[in-house]
Amino acid sequence: MNILVCVKRVPAPGARINITEDGQAVDTAFLGFTVSPHEECAVEQAVQLVEKHGGEVTVLTLGPAEAEEQLRTAVSVGAARAVLVPITESDWDPQRTAQAIASVITDLENANGKFDLVLFGNESADSCGYQVGIRVALKLGRPMVNGAKGLDIEGSVAKVRRESDAGQEIYMLPMPSAVGVKEGINLPRYPTMKGRLASKKVDVTRTESTGSVGGLKTIQLQRPPERVSNTQILGTGPEAASAVVDLLEELGVFK
Amino acid sequence: MSVLAVIEHDRGTIATASLGVLTAARTLASQMGTTLEAVTVGANADALSSVAAQYGATVVHQAHHSALTDFGPEAWGEAVAQVVKKISPQVVIGTGTERGHEVVAQVAARLDLPASMNCTEFDSAFTGAQPLKVVRARWGGSLLEQAQVDAPIKLVTLANHTVEAVESPDTATNTVHDVELNDSVMHSFVQDRVERVAGVTLATAPVVVSGGRGVGSAEAFAPLEELAGLLGGIVGCSRAVTNNGWRNHTDQVGQTGTRIAPDIYIACGISGAIQHWVGAMASKNILAINTDKEANIVTKAGYAVIGDLHKIVPAISEEIRRRRG
């Protein structure tokens, strides 16, 4: 079972996000970087699947040279191989990204055989495009489902579980297939000492690729308007309970 | 020439998000001096057509195929792509939901067109001839991006909860399109469903009582469960809580969790990091319970109680029981 996981280097979420003066990018001066959260879970899922079924996990990223750090992170938690598709711009649009990634995957498969599964994150944490994985899967001619909250292998089929308002939906994709993974599918592990050593030693393959510029163009980033709320303090400590219940009654949520 | 709204539905039941999409698409069509049309996927779509007409659609394109009985992202994408190719709308708007993003991305991939997801605004000067300028949500809404979609057919999704649905009844003509689906799109249909056991869900609950790092442990969520139970609501949590393994990720509110829009959100011991806030900001009212009166969530909430949630939450439950006698 050979699994490829496509990941993206993104500024570490959790902090306030500032924009550069020209409004073209996120100001990363005071931010760390990480693997986009859904993709961190995709790596974990891939590692769990090869632990169970055998095989090996390859991670691939299209990004700046520094994205090597995120590939090594993936190796530290169990990926065996790492491929960097270097770009000099800060980000490529979704069409261009998908074209470049699909072409690298095709080359890798021509050389080493097909990946049974190609995993993506549901959407990247920073650009939130919801489309690169779907575009790549179509170019590779594989069935694709996004939003996976469960992923198991049953024979030659990838069984995908996804959540909906009504409950859960089950999809059965014959392999080779592609799946977009969502956070919550697992709890990613921490690297072991052995993993850390492996991540230092791994040989990161660099593969140039190109894609034509697509039709979605960033003009400028902006901060959303701050919500200014004249917060009404209902009280301090348990004595405020009565005021809270008055409020609940007033809002019609307590009858 | 038209603006085409993609109707999201689950086996014939329209998704609420579709109503906002129809409303936004109608506004755009009217400023462009063109018609609002809609597309449905699957047979027995006449009820959906009536809803679309209620929101101002004048033509409803029904994509039919015997295989289209349940949701399948690739088949839906292919069906919509074939209709789009046939009628060449200037703009196609889908829902900003899991299915909506997925279907529009499938259409985009199949027609090799750009797509801009989670738009919160469309250029009010857009007439149809030029590239479409949009504002779209990045970082789950923590940042906005002014972007431009440059293509003959502009594909977008509307961020959920950004446009209030407003009816504008019209008479719609139904046009049936028999679409051709080849085997390659047949694999990704829903094969089975596990229906949720009766009860409210995080996305639809009228009351959400949420806990953050300040709750301290899995066991300490019991009083929150009790309060939620008394109010017919449900318990949510922040990412710190799921990362600590105190609660399942299905309870997580935020960018990588669930977006909620309850009548009241009671946030206990949650500092209100931006990634949490974007999941909660559509709540109609927010009550923060926090020891820190400077916490982000307190400054953004409409109401707050300052103090220890471990004492305050049980006191609220107690007061509710007392008043109910």
From the first residue on, what is the mean pLDDT of each consecutive set of 10 residues in chain B (325 residues)? 96 95 98 98 93 97 96 98 98 97 98 98 95 95 95 97 94 96 94 79 91 96 96 94 92 91 95 90 94 93 96 96 91
Model confidence band, residue A16 (pLDDT cutoffs 50, 70, 90): confident
Count Cβ–Cβ pairs < 8 Å, chain A vs chain B.
256
Report d(CA B305, CA A109) in Å as an integer: 59
- d(C-alpha B48, C-alpha B51), whole Å: 5
Helix (H) or strand (E) holding A193: helix A193-201
Among B85, B3, B101, B88, smallest CA distance to B52 is for B3
Assigned domain for A49 exists: yes
**Which structure tokens are listed for A131?**
């489309």
Fold of B2-185: Rossmann fold (3.40.50)
Q: Give the rounded distance of the alpha carbon of B236 from its chain centre.
A: 18
Scored b (16 or more CB within 10 A) or e, A120-129 reads: bbbbbbbbbb
Parent domain of A11: 2-206
- Chain B residues whose CB is inside 8 A of the A182 CB are 256
Joined tokens for residue B59: 């033509």
Q: A113: domain CATH number?
A: 3.40.50.620
**In terms of pLDDT, which residue wins out, A12 or A5?**
A5
Instruction: Mark yes or no for CB contact B204/A165 under 8 Å.
Output: yes
Q: How far is A22 from chain B (nearest CA, A)?
A: 13
pLDDT band at A14 (very low <50, low <70, confident <90, very high): low
Domain tally, chain A: 1
User: pLDDT band at A83, cuts 50/70/90?
Assistant: very high
A156-175 residues touching B, CB cutoff 8 A? 162-174
Residue B303 in contact with residue A232, Cβ under 8 Å? yes
Q: How many CB atoms lie within 10 A of CB A247?
A: 20
Chain A interface, best mutation among B224, B256, B270, B294, by max A CB count within 10 A = B256
Q: Is residue A238 part of a domain?
A: no
Q: Looking at per-residue confidence, does A156 or B141 come out higher? A: A156
- List the end-to-end C-alpha distance of chain A, in Å, as a whole number: 57
Q: What is the pLDDT of residues B10-52, one digit of tens each?
A: 999 999 999 999 999 999 999 999 999 999 999 889 999 999 9
DSSP A225: P
**Percent of residues in chain A assigned helix, strand, coil, to nearest 5:** 30, 30, 35
The shortest C-alpha distance from A33 to chain B (Å) reads 14
- Cα(B170)–Cα(B319) distance, integer angstroms: 50
Dist. CA A39–CA B98, nearest whole Å: 17
Contact B114 A214 (CB under 8 A): yes
CATH topology of domain B207-324: Rossmann fold (3.40.50)
Partner-chain contact B117 A131, CB within 8 Å: yes
To which H or E segment does residue A145 belong?
strand A144-148
State ipTM: 0.94
Domains B2-185 and B207-324 fall in the same CATH topology: yes
Closest by CA position to B94, among listed B8, B222, B31 = B8
How large a percentage of chain A has pLDDT more than 70? 98
Residue A239 in domain = no
pLDDT digits (tens, 9 = 90+) for B255-304: 888 989 999 999 999 999 888 998 999 899 999 999 999 999 999 999 99
- Which 3-state string (H, E, C) describes chain B? CEEEEECCEECCEECHHHHHHHHHHHHHHHHHCCEEEEEEECCCCHHHHHHHHHCCCCEEEEEECCCCCCCCHHHHHHHHHHHHHHHCCCEEEEEECHHHHHHHHHHHHHHCCCEEEEEEEECCCCCCCCCEEEEEEEHHHCEEEEEEECCCCEEEEEECCCCCCCCCCCCCEEEEEECCCCHHHCCCCEEEEEECCCCCCCCCCCEEEEECHHHCCCHHHHHHHHHHHHCCCEEEECHHHHHCCCCCHHHEECCCCECCCCCEEEEECCCCCHHHHHHHCCCCCEEEEECCCCCHHHHHCCEEEECCHHHHHHHHHHHHHHHHC
Where are the domains positioned within chain B?
2-185, 207-324
Phi/psi of residue B4, nearest 5 degrees: -110, 120
Tell me the pLDDT tens digit for each residue of A105-129. 999 999 999 999 999 999 999 999 9
Tell me if chain B has a CB within 8 Å of the CB of A210: no
pLDDT tens digit string along A181-234?
999 999 999 999 999 999 999 999 999 999 999 999 999 999 888 776 789 999
Helices (H) then strands (E): counts for chain A: 6, 14
- Is residue A58 a part of any domain in this protein? yes
Nearest CA in chain A to B243: A187
A8 in a structural domain:
yes
Alpha-carbon span B159 to B141, nearest angstrom: 9
Burial class of residue A157 in the structure, from the number of CB atoms within 10 Å of its CB (0-12 exposed, 13-18 middle, 19+ buried): middle
Q: Look at residue A49 and give its three-state secondary structure.
A: helix
Taking only residues 53 to 92 of chain B, the set having a beta carbon closer than 8 angstroms to any beta carbon of chain A reads 71, 73-74
Distance CA A58, CA B324 (A): 60
Partner B contacted by A183 (CB < 8 A): yes
Query: Strands of A204-206's sheet, edge to edge?
Result: A144-148, A177-181, A117-121, A2-7, A56-63, A81-86, A204-206
pTM of the model: 0.90
Residue B94: what are its φ and ψ, rounded to 5°?
-110, 175
Whole-number Å distance between alpha carbons of B103 and B99: 6
pLDDT for A15 beyond 90? no
pLDDT at residue B198, as a whole number: 64
Considering the domain boundaries, does residue A220 fall inside one? no
User: Does the residue A226 lie in any domain?
Assistant: no
CA dist., res. B266 & res. B234, Å (int): 10
Q: What pLDDT does residue A57 have?
A: 98
* A83 domain residue, yes or no: yes
Mean pLDDT to the nearest integer, A158-182: 94
**DSSP state letter for A190:** P
Facing B264 at nearest CB: one of A93, A170, A253:
A253
